[in-house]
Structure 1
Amino acid sequence: MNLLNSPVFGIFLSIITYQIGLKIKARFKNDLFNPLLLAMFMIIGFLSLFHIPYESYKIGADYIHFFLSPLTVALGIMLYRQRTVIKKHFISLIIGITAGVATSFFTILLMAKAMGLSDMLTLSALPKSITTPMAISLTQILGGEEPLTIILVVITGMSGAFLAPFAVKLFPNFNAIAKGIGIGTASHAVGTSKALELGEEEGAFSSSAIALAGLITVLIVPFLARWFGLV
């Protein structure tokens, strides 16, 4: 029982389930088998099967959560590495990413209104298209639920990686800039992994879009949320 109430339990369970998820992903080579999502399901199943309270797991999980904040700063490295691309196509990047962020916000808002979702659920969904560390920080600012936001971020990334090849075929005349910005803005790092498979340029623009989309989202979404009375 002492082990269950120590940080070792949560950290060990997280690492083991994620490693299993990586093995499954490598075995099937399918974007639907996302290691993070698989780890989440395995942890939920393990805790439920052995009737272990979530609070026991959270003791160790909080230590892992602590390291997400420094990862947000690390996005600056990504921007630095892509500085040549950003400088050359700065206007296109900003316009495209801002349009993508606005589209995401209003799509979620309209769907939430149509489905009668609560403001809390709506706020939790708003950061779904940016990378996990920034999404968690934003949902804390907005007053959403972190676990729900994380799940939606994973699902969004998986959806983007799965649908990106179909979208590219549907719009064959779009250049590498449009493809990369669209994938990176809509589905962050998981989608970018698919953009890299499409081509080097697509991957570069998608990588640039991850950090820029996160920054733009953090800047304008709280303002829009207040404007529409969500917070």
Structure 2
Amino acid sequence: MGSTLNEFFEISAFAGVTLSLLAYALGMFLKRKTHLGIFNPLLVSIAVTIVVLLIADVDYDTYNKGASYLSWFLTPATVCLAIPLYEQIELLKTHWKAVIAGILSGVLTSLVTVFVLSKIMSLSHKEYVTMLPKSITTAIGMGVSEELGGYVTITVAVIIVTGVLGNILADFICKIFRITEPIAKGLAIGSASHAIGTAKAMEMGEIEGAMSSLSIAVAGIITVVGASIFANFI
């Protein structure tokens, strides 16, 4: 069976994207049925894809020939997050000082945390800069990691893990710290866990989703500058 699947992935131009979409659909189904955060669709799709590729003995390059089509939609999907922000533009104008302060705090917290943990764990410079863009969207984080000389593939993995954890734990964290203000929730989730976290923010409410969408863009820009500065610390 493994050899048959391997041949299918090698000869089919769409095997990778088909596997990815089916795995994500399974994740969506499990999430709807169980309502458990651990069954995050992206997390489930990653696990299912890895298992199938291992069973079929398919290497990443073969899988990516078909799956790479999905990456074409990454940037347009990120840009589309501006729509809920536009719908809440008056709210942004009213609270712009708090919004900027909140996003800036989130970015600095992320960069300082990576710096401190890298020091504690004695990471090399290359490993350190690989981790710096962990809390921004993949489209921006890949460029930052490459520019700073990090491991781009590991950066992508770290960004995904950060987003999935943010998506799973967002509700729990807000309850623990008694965060009830929709704007605060959205800013915290967006600046900490980018687009994947924003999906959770949109489930919470329209304002949370709009503020989280804003955080993705602004946090990305600030991180580009901040990461360039922090990269010199190790």
- 1:67-86 correspondence to structure 2 within 5 Å: 67-86=73-92
Change (3 A) 1:31 1:148: farther
Which residue of 2 is the match for residue 228 of structure 1?
Answer: 233
* AA in 1 matched with 2:137: T
- Please tell me whether residue 208 in structure 1 is matched to residue 214 in structure 2: yes
Structure 2 residue aligned with 1:149: 155
Give the residue type in structure 2 aligned to 1:228: F
Q: Distance in 2 between matches of 1:14 and 1:107?
A: 32
Mark the CA change 1:202 to 1:104 in structure 2 (over 3 Å): closer, same or farther. Answer: same
Distance 1:153 1:78 in 2: 23
CA–CA distance in structure 1, aligned partners of residues 184 and 225 of structure 2: 23
One-letter code aligned to 1:128: K
Alpha carbons of 1:109 and 1:203: their partners in 2 closer, same or farther (altered >3 Å)? same
Matching of residue 55 in structure 1 with residue 56 in structure 2: no
Give the match for residue 99 of structure 1: 105
The sequence identity of aligned pairs, in percent, is 41
SS in structure 2 opposite 1:141? helix
User: Match for 2:28 among 3, 13, 22?
Assistant: 22
In 1, are the aligned partners of 2:167 and 2:193 still within 8 Å (CA)? yes
| Counterparts in 2 of 1:173 and 1:125: CA distance versus 1, 3 Å | closer
- Which deviates more from structure 2 when the two are superposed, residues 24-33 or residues 190-199? 190-199
Q: What letter is aligned with 1:89?
A: H
Deviation of 1:137 (Å): 3.3
* Paired residues for 1:149-188 under 5 Å: 149-172=155-178, 175-188=181-194
Work out the CA distance in 2 between the residues paired with 1:133 and 1:92.
Answer: 26
- Equivalent AA in structure 1 for residue 120 of structure 2: A
Tell me the residue number matched to 2:42: 36
Amino acid of the residue matched to residue 123 of structure 1? Answer: V
- Scaled by the length of structure 2, what TM-score is found? 0.81
Q: Once the 2 structures are TM-superposed, how far is the Cα of residue 193 of structure 1 from its aligned partner? A: 4.1
Cross-structure match for 1:110: 116
In structure 1, what is the equivalent of residue 93 of structure 2? 87
Query: In 1, Cα distance between the equivalents of 2:87 and 2:72?
Result: 25
2:134 aligns with one of 102, 116, 128:
128
Give structure 1 stretches of 5+ with no counterpart: none
Q: CA deviation at 1:207?
A: 3.3
Query: CA, structure 1 residues 110+63, in 2 after alignment: closer, same or farther (shift >3 Å)?
Result: same
Given that residues 43 and 164 in structure 2 are in contact (C-alpha distance below 8 angstroms), is that contact kept between their aligned partners in structure 1?
no
Contact 1:79 1:211 (C-alpha < 8 Å) held by counterparts: no
Structure 2 residue identity aligned to 1:222: S
Q: Aligned pair 1:64/2:97, yes or no? A: no
**Paired residue type of 2:92:** I
SS of the residue corresponding to residue 226 of structure 2 reads helix
In structure 2, stretches of 5+ residues that fail to align are: 1-6
Q: Distance in 2 between the 1:121 and 1:67 partners?
A: 28
CA drift of 1:50 comes to 1.9
- 1:84-136: CA deviation from partner (whole Å, max 9, x where unpaired): 22222111111111111011011011111211223333223222222333333
Which whole-Å CA distance do the structure 1 matches of 2:214 and 2:174 have between them? Answer: 19
Report matched runs for 1:6-21 at 5 Å: 6-21=12-27
Does the 8 Å contact 1:78/1:211 carry over to 2? no
Q: Give the deviation of 1:174 after TM superposition.
A: 6.5
